[in-house]
Amino acid sequence: MRKLFFFILTFTAIVTAVGQEAEYVQQYSWPWHWREGTIVTEPAPATEGQRTAIGMAAPAIDTVRVGFVGLGMRGSDAVRRFTHIEGVRIAALCDYEADRVEASSRFLREAGLPPAACYSGEEGYKALCANPDIDLVYVATDWHHHFLVAKCAIEHGKHAAVEVPSAMTLTECWALVNLVEQRRRHCVILENCCYDEFELNTLHMAQQGLFGEIVRVQGAYIHTLDEYWMQYWKQGPEDRLGWRLRWNRDYAGDVYPTHGLGPVAQLLDIHRGDRMATLTAMATASFRGRELAEQYGGEPCPDFKNGDHTTTLIRTVKGKVIEIQHNVMTPQPYSRLYQLTGTRGFANKYPTEGYYLYDGTYSHRFLTDSARAALETRYRSPLLAEYAEKAHRVGGHGGMDYTMDARLIYCLRNGLPTDMDVYDLAEWCSLAELGALSLEHGSAPVEFPDFTRGHWQDLKGFRHWQKK
């Protein structure tokens, strides 16, 4: 009876998400219950004939026709980067604001490229997704629209690539998993931090066994956004906070977890041999966030939901621990932490970059600069050998944005599985709502849903797919 009850609740939630535009007003988007002191959510029901998308490839596309939705700070730079990638045609441009579409259109004209179809307004993306001249919809809108655009794109037979965080709720995560499994189109999370140089080299070293068994990792997004808050898009003069500060005001949990979690999840082969099992989260109260909302909103803000600093601890099925932090509020140096502790070695990126390898004698220090340089030469990531030189020229967060985009296009052009799939998207993005459930219930343990529905060991280890 209890099972039937939760099945009905779950089914109702997913049908609402897939059938209609998502609602963001309820406290939690997904039904949950207690099981022996742990908060548990049920998996979404699958439809008949739906099958796993683990390792999914799609037919190769010779020239990938891309439609961009969201041309603000991030999306307009994505358009620029794509003009440097071979095998791509920028086929369509869309933003709520017509003048942003015109600016990117002008950019293409001045670069001597063919014109793209243009769309604007709140629902312009629907016409873009219906355009048969598009293979890939690249989404860089505010967080309210990521899911709506991705869903619309996949329903129209397009692949979707979605900026981070690509889904904001468990309902959105499950709906995208179901859509991909049903429609066999990619839904890629655009986690650029997986392509930074230290991370790529360290991943390669880890895959060669240099650190032994990796037992603990940490990652973060610690970035004071003071200079950006008022630059984020505002929907009209009534909107005084802009979408990002408003989202932080309205939601608890790590609402931007993927820069920290993505690269370390790849180190641990998450859903390629291991699986995140349980999390617990703890956050400070809101001090600075509330101050900002009052400063920009011009009225008291007694209930700013997002704590200034949120910490989430995750344990995997194989007994590894992941620590993820989020702080976009307090003044401090930028950090994504990125730390790996293994049975034979250690790596750390922020605030001090270094490696430590155990060779039978203990030391208190990282490897010397020359030893590190030799290590990085010997274990240079094959991806960097291929992309780094051009990535430096094109730029975008030091080149990692270009490498991410170029890899996505490479996989689509060669009919390969993408580096990051819809399960990565769901696992990494679900931290927000799962974390809020923990935070709002005394940091209780919360069970991670298995978005793969039992297929998390089908692939043996994370890999960047290459054509044979």
Ligand X SMILES: NC(=O)c1ccc[n+]([C@@H]2O[C@H](COP(=O)([O-])OP(=O)(O)OC[C@H]3O[C@@H](n4cnc5c(N)ncnc54)[C@H](O)[C@@H]3O)[C@@H](O)[C@H]2O)c1
Q: Do residues 447 and 41 make contact, with C-beta atoms less than 8 angstroms apart?
A: yes
Residues in the chain: 468
Alpha helices in 91-250, H assignment, sequence order: 98-110, 124-130, 146-155, 170-183, 197-207, 242-250
Give yes or no for residue 428 binding ligand X (CB under 6 A): no
Task: Pick the closer one to ligand X by CB: 62 or 122.
Answer: 122
Give yes or no for residue 164 binding ligand X (CB under 6 A): yes
Task: Pick the closer one to ligand X by CB: 161 or 179.
Answer: 161
**Of residues 47-66, which lie at the interface with ligand X (CB under 6 A)?**
none
Helix (H, G, I), strand (E, B) or coil at 312: strand
250: number of Cβ within 10 Å: 15
**Site for ligand X (CB under 6 A): which residue of 10, 29, 141, 339?**
141
**Of residues 260-299, which lie at the interface with ligand X (CB under 6 A)?**
none
- For residue 347, the minimal CB distance to ligand X (Å) is 22
How far apart CA 395 and CA 388 sit, in angstroms, is 10
Q: Which residues contact 51 (CB under 8 A, 6 or more apart)?
A: 181
- For residue 286, the minimal CB distance to ligand X (Å) is 20
Alpha helices in 268-350, H assignment, sequence order: 288-297
Task: Pick the closer one to ligand X by CB: 275 or 305.
Answer: 305
**Site for ligand X (CB under 6 A): which residue of 10, 29, 171, 192?**
192
The contact pattern for ligand X, residues 219-248, with x = CB under 6 A and - = no contact, is -------------xx---------------
- Please give the distance of CA 128 from its chain centroid, rounded to a whole number: 23
Residues paired with residue 447 on neighbouring β-strands, in sequence order? 278
Place of tokens 């950006």: 228
**Site for ligand X (CB under 6 A): which residue of 10, 41, 82, 163?**
163
CA distances from 396 to 76, 80, 86, 179, 391 (A): 11, 10, 17, 31, 8
- For residue 306, the minimal CB distance to ligand X (Å) is 14
- For residue 259, the minimal CB distance to ligand X (Å) is 7
- For residue 321, the minimal CB distance to ligand X (Å) is 25
How far apart CA 199 and CA 260 sit, in angstroms, is 11
DSSP label at residue 235: S
- For residue 163, the minimal CB distance to ligand X (Å) is 4
Give yes or no for residue 67 binding ligand X (CB under 6 A): no
- For residue 191, the minimal CB distance to ligand X (Å) is 7
**Site for ligand X (CB under 6 A): which residue of 140, 422, 429, 434?**
140
**Site for ligand X (CB under 6 A): which residue of 30, 32, 82, 125?**
125
Q: Which residue is nearest to ligand X (CB)?
A: 72
Determine the residue type at 119.
Y
**Site for ligand X (CB under 6 A): which residue of 17, 22, 69, 168?**
69
H/E segment holding residue 389? helix 382-394
Burial-class residue 290 by CB neighbours within 10 Å (0-12, 13-18, 19+): buried
Binding residues for ligand X, total number by CB under 6 A? 26
Place of tokens 């390669």: 204
Task: Pick the closer one to ligand X by CB: 97 or 440.
Answer: 97
**Of residues 83-122, which lie at the interface with ligand X (CB under 6 A)?**
94-97, 100, 122
**Site for ligand X (CB under 6 A): which residue of 145, 271, 272, 288?**
145
Strands (E), 331-374: 339-342, 345-348, 354-357
Binding site for ligand X (CB under 6 A): 69-75, 94-97, 100, 122, 124-125, 140-143, 145, 163-164, 192, 232-233, 397
